[in-house]
Amino acid sequence: MSQASQMPTDEQWQAIKNNDASYNAKFMYAIKTTGIFCKPSCKSRLPNRENVRIFQDADGAQAAQFRPCKRCKPTGERLPDQEWVELISRFIEKHYSEPIRLRDIADACHGSAFHLQRTFKRIKGITPTEYVQRTRIAKAQQLMNGTNRSIAEIGVAVGMPNTAYFITLFKKMTGSTPSDYRQRGRAGMTNVDAEGSDCQ
């Protein structure tokens, strides 16, 4: 028996689209972009067809390093919360520059928004939204010191196109405004002119 994955046939794709439980014993589908695999009946958001790979069974998908979906539980057991939260964190770290709502995260990571919010907070001590903000501000700090891009441009680059809001949040989380932060970073580099991008 081959464990190799394949692109879905039209019939398999129909089964996935229709959440057809009669196919649950016939194949599992994995989603390349999220690293998760599901039963055909899974009610999670329909992935792009080109990202879907078909496996004969859960063992095949797991052997290929895919993780079982939290919602449809294709192996019958739950993905441990710790691992799930890691998966969510990685999703946020990859998508921080886009407008991401809790629902998008929940959809992509295969859980309800309510459950995701609670589990994440319990394990990380902060909410997913706070984690998005922290990731964005940390990235903005890097850009502030490592580039000459304007404050507004950096805001856009980290997913906060509203400059006023970006400045407010930056100040709230770091204690200084973006321009103060940048100036202090530059003052720290003794005898290097402000245009200098070579901080090494």
Residues forming contacts to Zn ion in the complex (CB under 5 A) are 38, 42, 44, 69, 71-72
Closest distance between Zn ion and the C-beta of residue 19, in Å? Answer: 10
Q: Is 69 a catalytic residue?
A: no
Q: Which lies closer to Zn ion via its Cβ, residue 69 or residue 109?
A: 69
Here the tokens at position 24 are: 């649950």
Select 111 or 178, whichever has its Cβ closest to Zn ion: 111
Whole-angstrom CA distances from 90 to 94, 165, 191 are 6, 25, 39
Shortest distance in whole angstroms from residue 78 CB to Zn ion: 12
Q: Which helix (H) or strand (E) holds 68?
A: strand 67-68
Rounded CA separation 193/163 (Å): 26
- Cα separation of 27 and 32, whole Å? 16
Min dist CB 54 to Zn ion, Å, is: 14
Q: Give φ, ψ of 55 to 5 degrees.
A: -125, 155
Alpha-carbon distance of 26 to 143, in angstroms, equals 49
CB closer to Zn ion out of 69 and 143: 69
- For CA atoms 81, 86, 89, 94, the dihedral sign is negative
Nearest-approach distance from CB 6 to Zn ion, in angstroms: 19
Among 38, 42, 69, 72, the active-site one is 38
Q: Toward Zn ion, which CB reaches closer, 114 or 165?
A: 114
Distance CA 38, CA 40 (A): 6
| Residue numbers annotated as active site | 38
